[in-house]
Amino acid sequence: MKDCLFCKIVQKEIPTEVLLENDFFIAFNDINPKAPIHVLVIPKKHFQDISDIDGDVIAKFPEFVKTLSDKLGVTDNGYRIITNKGKDAGQIIFHLHFHLLAGKNLGDLI
């Protein structure tokens, strides 16, 4: 989408420090972190939300997150993956994205 912030990041029109990237996903730090480690994982193809994603793309997600969590050093202690669908759930940018949160006990963080 032309005016989508995350599409512009994927297209390298907006610079960001990429933590991991493959043919399907890109990961970078959230600019407003809610945990010591707060990474956004977005599909390179534009999907509005979780209901919109192709099965072939979402099937690649677990492998990407495993590689990312290993790179971040959080695989053993754990992490949380969150996505929001729709404005009532808190979705602000309508390009599907996942929050990977880690780096502390997240038991009290929803």
Strand, helix or coil for residue 93 = coil
Q: Which of 38, 46, 95, 97 is catalytic?
A: 97
Is 99 among the catalytic positions? Answer: no
C-alpha to C-alpha distances, 35 to 31, 32, 60, 93, nearest whole angstrom: 11, 9, 25, 20
Which residues participate in catalysis according to the annotation?
97
